[in-house]
A and B are shown apart, each in its own frame.
Chain A
Amino acid sequence: MTDESTDAESARSDASASPIRAVTGLVGSAWSALKTVYYANSLSWRFLKSGTLLLFGFFLWAGANVLYSYNPDLAVLRYPMAYGFVLILYGPFHHLVVLPLAFRWRRDSGTRRTVGRKLPNAMLAVFLAVVLVLGTAPVGAMVVDFQSTLGSDGSDVSPDLICEGAETENGTEISCELSESEGVDRVVVTSGDTKLVDDADPPYEFTIRERELESVTGEKQFTVELEDEDGTMIRRYSRRLSMIEGA
C-alpha cells in the first residue's frame, strides 16, 4: 500500500505537470488497484471476489443471451455470452483454488516454484482460449432460448362464460353458456360446498336457481370449472349474483 499523503502529492504534481501524465498516472493507479484486488488472498476476499465473478458471469451470460435472441445476426454477442458462461464456474475456481495454490507453490523451490509463478497467467490464457472457442462454436447449453415461451404444442382454451338471469315461477334462474367449447371436456358448477352441475356433454349450457346458491361474504355466488379430457382444471370462473344481468 502506498502512503496517503505521498499519493495525493504525486497526483497533484502530475496533474500540474501535464494532463496527459495525469491521465496516464490515473490509469496506472487504476491498474495497480485492480491488481491489488486480483491478488488479495484472505479467505473473506477470496469469497467476495468469487461471488462477484459468479454474479457478473451470470449477468453477462443472460444479458448477452437476451440480446442475441432478438439479434441473431450479431455474432459478436456470442463472445460476452461465452465469457460469462465460462466465468460462472471458472471465476470462483480461479480465486478459490488457482491463486492460493500458486501463492503456496511460489514459496517452495524448484519446479513447484516455477509452476507457481506461471500458473495464474497460464490458467487465464486457457480460460480465454475456451471463451474464444465457445464464442466461435457455441454449445447448446450456453445459448438459452428465450423466444419459445409461446409454443405451439398446446391449444389456448379461453372461452367466455356468458350468464343471464331471469325471473320465473320458481324464482330467479341463471342460464349460462360458453362462447366456445373446443378443448373442454367437462363443466363443474359449485356453490360453497355444493355441486350444482356436472356436465360432460357439449355445448355445456346450464341453468341454476338462485335459491340453490350459497352466500360467501354476504353475497350469493357460484364457481364454474372447466376440465380437459385428463380431468385437469383448465379454467375457473367465479360469478357473484350481483354481477349477472337480470338476476
Chain B
Amino acid sequence: MFGFSTHEYDDEGFRTCNVTGLTIHRSAEDMVKLYGLTAIVALAIGGVFAFFVAMTRWELVSLLSPADFYTYLSMHAWNLLIFWMIFMEIAILYVGGAFVLGRRLSLPRLAKVGWVVMATGAVVVNAAIWTTEAPNQAPLLTSYVPLPSNWQFYAGAIVFILGAVVAALPFFATIWHERRENPNETLPLVTFGAFITGIVALESLVGGLITYVPTLLWRVGEFSTMDPAFYRQMYWIIGHGSQQINLLAMITVWYFLTHVLGGAEVASQKVSRTAFVLYLFFINLGAAHHLMSDPVVSTGWRMWNTSYAAYGAVLASMIHAFAIPAGLEAGRRAKGKGGGLFGWLWSSPWDDPGFSATIMSIILFGFLGGITGVMMGQMQLNMTWHNTLATVGHFHATVVTGTTLAFMGLAYYVLRLVFGRDWAMKPFAKIQPYLYAGAMSLLVLMMMYVGILFGVPRRHPSVMDIPGTEFSFAPAKPFFVVFGVAALLAILGGALFVLIAVASLLTGDRFDADSVGDVTRAAADGGDAKPIHEYSMRGTFTLCLVFLATFVVLWGLNWYLLSTVWQIGP
C-alpha cells in the first residue's frame, strides 16, 4: 500500500518479520499502514492548533480572540483526543490481533469500509467545527447541551463512531476465527490486552451513539428538549471511555514494545491478565469524576464510582505499573543483561527512540497522569480539581506524556518493521522522545500548578483580568511563562516526530534488521531455563517504592489543601 513498502510476501501473502519473528499477512499490514498514517495526519493537524491554544492561554501572547479560542480548542481536542488516538488504536487492534496471532485479517473489506466511514466522519466534524457561526457554539470536546452546535457536527461524530465500530469488527472476527481453530490455546497477552481494549472501545462507542443520536435529533428539531443531566451522564461514557481505550491500548503497546525492544518477559501471565479483566469491569467508571459537581447524581452513585469501583481500576493500574518494568528487569536479567540493582536499566537501548519513548511513557504516565487521576477521581479531592486547568494537566499527562508518547514509540517501529524504512534524520530521531517528553512534562506540571494552587479555570482564554470580579490570577504569571515556553518546545518535539515520520517514508533507507543493533535482546529464548519469575525484580521494587512514596506525599498535600478550603468547628 502507498508504494512505500520494501517487503516481499510469499504466494499466500505472508512474510516473517526478522526482528520480532512475527508472521505477518499483507491484509493486516496494509490496514496498519493506512490507519497509522491517517493517525499521524490527525496528530499534525491537532498539533498546529495546539500552538494557537497554548499561545492564547499564555496571556503574554494572547493570540486568539475569545470567540476564535473555542473553535481552535475544539479542533485541537477532536483531532488529538479522538482522531489521532482512535485511528492509531484501530491499527493497534490489528497489530495485537492479526500480527501477533500470525493470521490474515478477517473481513479485510470491512476494515477498508471502516476507514472510509471514520475518515468521512472526521472530515465532517472538522468542517463543522471550523464553520461554526452564531447561534451555534464551537463544541469543545464535550458539546454540552443545551449549547447548540452545528447539526453537521453531531452527524459527523455519529458517522465517525459508526466507522470505528465497523473498523473494530475485523479484529473481533480474527479473534473468533483463532478461537475456533485453536480452542485449547490461550491468546497471547498482547492479543488479550487488545481484545479487552476492543471490548472497552465498543462500550464507549455505543455510549457515544446513545449520546449523539438523540442530540442530533434535538438539534434538527425532532425532539423539543434534551435533558442536560441525561446528556452529561451518557456523554461521559464515550468522553472518558475513549480515553480509557487510550489507556488500555497504551498498556498493550508497553507490553509489546518492552518485549520487542528491551527483551522483556511477562513476569506473571495470570496477574497481568487479571489486571486487564479488572479494567474491563471498573475502568469506565472512572468517568464519574466529571459528574461530581453535578446535582443530579446520588450520594450512593458518587461513593460507588469514586471509591469501590475506583479501587478496582487503580489496583489494575498498580499491577501493570509493577508487572511491565518487572518483566523488563527479569527478561533482561535472564538474557544476562542486568547485574546489581539497575544494571538492566544501564544496559537498555536508551538511544532507540522506540524504547526511550516507551519507558518515558511508563514513567510519566505513572508519576504525572496516574497519581493525579486517582486523586481527582476521589469524591472529596475532586472539589479542588474540578474544571481547573489542573484537570487539563492531568489528561495531558495521561494522553500526551503517556499514550501519545507510547504511540510515537510504536510508530517508530511501524516505520521500520511495517513500512521497511529506516528512520531519516537519525540524530533527531534519537532525541525527539526526550525533547517531547521533557517539554510536555514541564507543561503538564505548570497546568497542574496554576490549576490546583491558584484555581485558574480551564477553557478560558483570558483569566488574568476578568472584568467585574475580584479574582486576580496575576501571581500565577511566572508559571504561565514556563507553561508557554514548555508548550513551544513540546510542539517543536511533536512537529519533529511528524517530520521524521514523513521523511522516513519518503527518503528513508531500506530497513535492515541488523541495524537494530542488539537484535538478540528481542529473542524470547535467551538465557537459561529458569522460570522468569525466579529472577530478581528488586530494581523494579525499589522504583515502585519511590513511586508509592511520591503518591503518599502528593495525596497528603492534596488533602491538606482541601482542608484549608473551609474550617469545621470553632
Contacts and interface: CB of A to CB of B under 8 A. Distances in A.
Interface of A: 1-4, 7-8, 29, 33, 36-37, 40, 42-45, 47-48, 51, 54-55, 58-59, 62-63, 66-67, 70, 141, 144-146, 148-158, 183, 192-193, 216-219, 226, 228, 230, 232-235, 240
Contacts of B225: 219
A3 B449 CA distance: 44
A219 B553 CA distance: 51
Contact of A1 (B343, B441, B442, B454): B343
Contacts of A44: 350-351, 356, 434
Nearest to B359: A48
Contacts, number: 128
A94 B299 CA distance: 52
Nearest to A232: B467
A219 B346 CA distance: 65
Given A55-B442, A58-B445, 15 more contacts: A1-B343, A4-B338, A8-B536, A44-B356, A47-B434, A63-B553, A144-B453, A146-B453, A146-B454, A153-B472, A155-B468, A192-B134, A216-B148, A219-B225, A232-B467
B131 interface: no
Contact of B346 (A40, A58, A193): A40
B470 A154 contact: yes
B469 A157 contact: yes
B564 interface: yes
Interface of B: 134-135, 146, 148, 218-219, 221, 224-225, 333, 338-343, 346, 350-351, 356, 434, 437-438, 441-442, 445, 449, 453-455, 467-475, 478, 536, 542, 553, 557, 560-561, 564
Contact of A42 (B224, B340, B350, B438): B350
B453 A45 contact: no
Given A44-B350, A149-B475, A51 B470 contact: no
Contacts of A58: 442, 445, 449
B468 A156 contact: yes
A66 B561 contact: yes
A235 B468 contact: yes
A37 B342 CA distance: 8
Contacts of B437: 51
Contact of B339 (A1, A43, A150, A218): A1
Given A44-B351, A62-B453, A218-B221, A2 B339 contact: yes
A13 B346 CA distance: 27
Contacts of B333: 4
Contacts of B339: 1-4, 7
Nearest to A56: B550
Nearest to A11: B538
B441 A55 contact: yes
A47 B350 CA distance: 11
9 contacts: A36-B342, A45-B350, A63-B557, A144-B475, A146-B454, A148-B475, A154-B470, A218-B224, A228-B467
A45 to B, nearest CB: 7
Given A149-B473, A192-B135, A33 B441 contact: no
A184 to B, nearest CB: 8
A183 B468 CA distance: 7
A234 B474 CA distance: 19
> What are the 5 tightest A-B residue pairs by CB atom distance, in nearest-first order?
A234-B468, A44-B350, A157-B468, A1-B339, A151-B472
A228 B561 CA distance: 35
Contacts of A42: 350
Nearest to B135: A216
A155 to B, nearest CB: 7
Contacts of B469: 154, 156-158, 234
Contacts of B557: 63, 66-67
Nearest to B218: A217
Contacts of A47: 434, 438
B341 A29 contact: yes
A226 B467 CA distance: 11
B475 A33 contact: no
Contacts of A219: 224-225
A95 to B, nearest CB: 13
A1 B339 CA distance: 6
A150 B356 contact: no
Contacts of A157: 468-469
Nearest to B470: A156
Contacts of A218: 221, 224
Contacts of A151: 470-472, 474
A156 B135 CA distance: 29
Nearest to A153: B472
Contacts of B560: 67, 70
A118 to B, nearest CB: 26
Nearest to B347: A1
A217 B438 CA distance: 45
Contact of B449 (A62, A141, A230, A232): A62
B350 A149 contact: no
B468 A228 contact: yes
Contact of A152 (B134, B470, B478): B470
A145 B471 CA distance: 14
Contacts of A36: 340-342, 346
B146 A217 contact: yes
Contacts of B468: 154-158, 183, 226, 228, 234-235
B232 to A, nearest CB: 17
A44 B135 CA distance: 52
Contacts of B449: 58, 62
B535 to A, nearest CB: 8
B357 to A, nearest CB: 12
